[in-house]
Each structure stands twice: as C-alpha cells, then as structure tokens.
Amino acid sequence: MPVKLRIGWFSFTCCEDSTIIFTELLNTHYKDWFKKLEFVHARILRKDDTEEIKEMDVAFVEGAISSDRQEEKLKKIREKAKKLVAIGACAVLGSPSNQRNFFNEDQTKEIKPILELFKYKEKVMKLSDIVTVDENVSGCPMNEQVFLQIMEKYLNA
Amino acid sequence: MHNIDTDFDINLDEISKIEGAASLEIKVRNKKIEDLKFSISEWKRFYTQAIRGKPATAVPQLVARICGTCSNAHLLASLEAVEKGLKVTPSPQTMILRKLLYYGLIIRDHALHLYIFSLPDLFGKNSILDLDENDPIQKQLLEDAFAVKEVGNQLSIVIGGRSVHAPMPTIGGFLKLPKLEDIKALKPKLLEIRPKILKLIELFAKDPSDFTLQAPVTYCGLSSDDFSFLEGAIKTSDGVTIQEKDFGTHLNGVIIPYSQARGFKFDGKLLMVGALARINNDKDRLHPKTKESVKAYLDVFPSHNLFHNNLAQAIEIVHTIDSSCDLIDGLNAIENESPIKIQAAETVGVGLIEAPRGTLYYKLEISADGTVKHGDIVVPTGQNQIVMERGIYELVEKLLAVDTPKDQIVYEIEKFIRAFDPCMSCAAHFLRVKWR
C-alpha cells in the first residue's frame, strides 16, 4: 500500500464556502483522493477521536483569525503541518471577515460590547499575519483550478 | 450489568458534520442535568452592521458571503428585498431561471446533509469515509452521494455561473444568461439521480430514530402552488396565512432566561422551520410525480418526530428534480433580456424565501441615495434555536432516565443536532445559551 498524504482541513472565521467547494470537488475526485489522502482532521467529514492536533503533511486552512484562541490553534496547526496552505480570501487577505477592521466610529461602538464579552481580537487577521504560509489559494470562494494544481503537486511530491 | 456514571461532564468542543462551528457543555450530577450550554462557536462577522451605508445594489453579493453552503439563498432573498423595495418585478424568464438555480442548491445542500453528515449514523459509522467499499450497498451509496451532489452543483453552475456565491443573478435579472442547450443537457442527468434518491428515502424511512418534543411546536414555511421555495405566503401548522412583508411582526426575538442569546418564537409559540415544517404543512403541493413516487412515505406527515426532517429533505430532493424537469421542458428559448433598470428611492423592502434549512427573512431600509440605512436578517437556524436547545435538554433527560452511558449520550446528541441540519455560519448572530 502506498503511503497516503496526510491532510487536515480547518475552518476559522469565514462562511466556509471553500469547504463547500472542496466537498463539490470530491464529487469528481473522491475515487482518486480517498485512495491517496488520509483525512487526519476534517470536521466536515468526520468526528475527531482526539482533541490533539496530529502531525500532517499538508494543512489546508480557510478563514481569518478573530480571537486569541483561534490564533493558538492556528499556531498548533502550523507546528504539526509540514506545509500550510491558506484557502480562500478570508485566509489569504482577511476579507471579507475582517470588515469590522474598517468600521466607522458608530459601527465600532455598536459592536464593542460583543467584542469585549467574547474576547475578540482588536483586529481580524489574515493567516500570514500570524504564521508562515507556504501556498495561497485566493478567491471567494477559492479558485478551484489553483487548488487542484496544489493538491496534484503534493500528491505527486 | 454495566456501571453507569451518575456524575460526569460532556465537553464537545466542535460538533462534527454540521455547517459551521458549535459546541456543547453538559454537567450531570446524580443523573440530573445541572448545567447545559449549547454554544455557537462561530465568530461574528457583523454583516448587518457592514451593509449599512453600502449601495443596496451591492448588498446581495456581499450577504451571499454570510454562508458558504446556502449562499444562493442569501443572494436570492436579498435580491427580492431590494426588488420589492424598489418595485422591480422580475420577468417570468428570470423567475424560471432563479427557480432552477435554487433547485440546484436544494439538491446539493440536502444531499450534503443527508449523505455526508447523516448517512454514516444510519450505518453506525463515524464518516462517509468509513463506508465499506466491499459492501455493495454501502459502495453504491458512496457513489450515489457524489453523483447526486454533482448534478445539483452543475444545475447551479449552468444557471448562476457558480454553485457558491453565484455571480450572474442580479437585481432585475441576470448579468449573463445561460445557454438553452446547456440547460436542456441537464435533464437526463436529473433523471439519472432520481432513482438514487428514492433509495435514500427508503433508507431514511427505516431509520428508527424517534424524538418528539413534549411542548407543542408551530411549523412555519413559505407556501406556493408549485412548492417553489421562492414565492407565496407564509403558512403555519395552526392554519394561519401571513404575507411575506408581515412575517417579521410575528417573530418574537426572545431573551431566554438562561441565555445571552436571542432565539425566536412565532406569536409566542415554539417555532420550527425547514423541510419538516414545509412537508408537514404542504405535502399536498409537492410535484404530482413526486407524490406518486413517495406516497408510501408521505403518510407519516404531519410528523412531530424531529428526525423526520431527514426524510422530508430527501422527499424535497425528488420534488426539485421533478420540478426542474418540468421547467426545463417548458423552456424553448432564452430571451436576451437585460436586467431591469432601477431608480433609487427611499423605501423598505422585504425578501423572504425558504432556504434549505427554513425561512430566510431580509428587511432592508433603503435611503433616497440608494444606500442601505438599516438591515434585518433572520436566518432559519435562529428560528429553530429554541426548539433545538429544548430538544437537546429533553433528549439528555430521557437518556439519563434509562441509564444510558455517556458515550452513547454524546452520540445521540450529535445525531439529534445533525437532524436539524443547523447552519452555524448563518446563525452566528446568536451567541450563547446556558441552561439552568
């Protein structure tokens, strides 16, 4: 049996549109990918048997970072993943999940109690503000062709 | 005899196989629930604040980003709100194309939930990845899952340019119209997946899962002659009919005593929206071919077994296949219509559609300069929140009473939450619930 590529799929602050695109790409790729990929973490597909982040060859990460807890988790993912790929506009650029960063005074005042109560970060951050990102798949949702090229590259590495 | 813990804690950090992130904490002491917290762990993105001051015409593409899976529901509901406000009436061709786009969403979204999230539970598996490829039934179901999703996906792509955040639908029409031959080519594909869904219905009909809330529930949904999800008036299981524009006045935002969050009731009653509500209220309005094919399974509706939401979703997939085929047959040409031109005006518009998970409500106040003054968005998972949380509580109480082991309780809770098909990405407007 050839060794499978160990991947993780993680979502932070976003609408999870790229997760949906990924599940739609499975429609035509699942036969190949299920043979070659081991889904170490993928909440959309399976319940994890442990809370620990496990070692991975590639971590695909969508969404922006809104809280310290998310930041810690992202750093753990980075530690455990040989490669980290930012998936979609929120992960790559922070937008549109970071729209509150650009709110005017009134809007900011209005959301302040929620930010304080739930310990939001002052500003929403893109992944590369916090960790080293090896590859970017931009787009809202992610650009399918770019994702497929990157997946192909890692599968053949 | 097995030893049953009388004191234990359940901490589910991220509930799996649902849309978005939710968590659950339960404290059980002496076989009684001392504390139960069901939290939406999504971080808010503040869309209702963000749309203020933006041109109303730009809002639909922005709010589509509230949710990845039902983005086209947000798109169409917000388009309707702007159009109703500015008195734009879409052409019959636009409505046909929007329905086809939408039926594509219903097929792929319900299929994602039923095959990928819920089906593994029926086989006692963690994941669709664990289905046994050496078992011909499970192997076929795996193939069916992706074949069905793909047809829904393609239907949305052909009509809207993409199945997620479709770029082509716009105020008063389409920026780019689909080609007739591409639409016609979809019909054989739709017919190919129809028998697969009938098999899925048989499977979910046999699911012995059964849970009925003790308190009475009002089922609510948009009702139209053709069960189109997009048009009509709100109909309730209490026999009340309400116009779309008045729906908001019947929704009561509820501050739950044990909660920091706002749930919703309907005229003071417990409210449930979604496929179960729609089929409970409107099974007679399903497509005639659907009714014929699934008549053995329609007798259970109206049903109060909340797990029948799965069966209702599967029936809706057949209905959208049959309705799509009719619409495709009826199309003989795509007229080269440009989007209707709009004139800015100070106005208020309400858009209301049935998202896959239930009624989705947009109310937009627009200023004379064409920008949004205020927006109100009520999503299905918000409306189902009170029923869902009450259900978790009652379910856990029931399981504790019959000495159910902790692991089994966790499994049953997750299965129950999944049956609602909640969408936490949408629902990040309510924050935290604390049971006392």
CB atoms B71 and A99 under 8 Å: no
Q: Average pLDDT in the A36-51 region?
A: 85
pLDDT of residue B428: 60
Q: Name the residue type at position B433.
A: V
Residue B423: pLDDT band (50, 70, 90) is: confident
The pLDDT tens digits for B147-165 are 999 999 999 999 999 999 9
**Residue A92 in this model has a pLDDT that exceeds 80:** yes
State the Cα–Cα distance between residues A51 and A43, nearest whole angstrom.
Answer: 12
CB contact residues (below 8 A), chain A span 2-41, against chain B: 11-21, 23-24, 26-28, 30, 34, 39
CB atoms B164 and A107 under 8 Å: no
User: Which residues, 6+ apart, have CB-to-CB distance to B254 below 8 Å?
Assistant: B262, B263, B264, B265, B386
CB contact residues (below 8 A), chain A span 96-135, against chain B: 96-97, 99-100, 103, 107, 110-111, 114, 117-118, 120
B220 near B359, Cβ under 8 Å?
yes
CATH number 3.40.50.700 given to A5-155: yes
- List chain B residues with CB under 8 Å of A107: 46, 49-50, 52
pLDDT of residue B3: 54
pLDDT of residue B431: 33
Q: Identify the H or E element spanning B359.
A: strand B358-366
- List chain A residues with CB under 8 Å of B69: 16-17, 20
Domain positions in chain A are: 5-155
CB atoms A99 and B149 under 8 Å: no
CB atoms A100 and B50 under 8 Å: yes
**Which of A90, A75, A85, A91 is closest to A5 using CA atoms?**
A85
**Residue B427 in this model has a pLDDT that exceeds 90:** no
Q: Which range is most confident: A106-110, B17-21, B66-70, B163-167?
A: B163-167
Name the more confident of B434 and B49. Answer: B49
Q: Is the ipTM of this complex over 0.85?
A: yes
Name the region of A125 (left: φ>0; alpha: ψ -120 to 50; beta: rest).
beta
Q: Which residues pair with A61 in a beta bridge?
A: A10, A86
**Residue B86 in this model has a pLDDT that exceeds 80:** yes
pLDDT of residue B149: 97
Q: Name the residue type at position B135.
A: D
CB atoms B17 and A118 under 8 Å: no
Q: What is the mean pLDDT of chain B?
A: 91
Q: What is the sign, positive or negative, of the torsion defined by CA atoms of B267, B269, B274, B280?
A: negative
DSSP B50-66: HTTTSBGGGHHHHHGGG
CB atoms A118 and B112 under 8 Å: no
**Residue B385 in this model has a pLDDT that exceeds 90:** no
Tokens of B86: 């500015």
The pLDDT tens digits for B244-284 are 999 989 998 876 444 444 678 899 899 999 999 999 999 99
State the Cα–Cα distance between residues B347 and B83, nearest whole angstrom.
Answer: 10
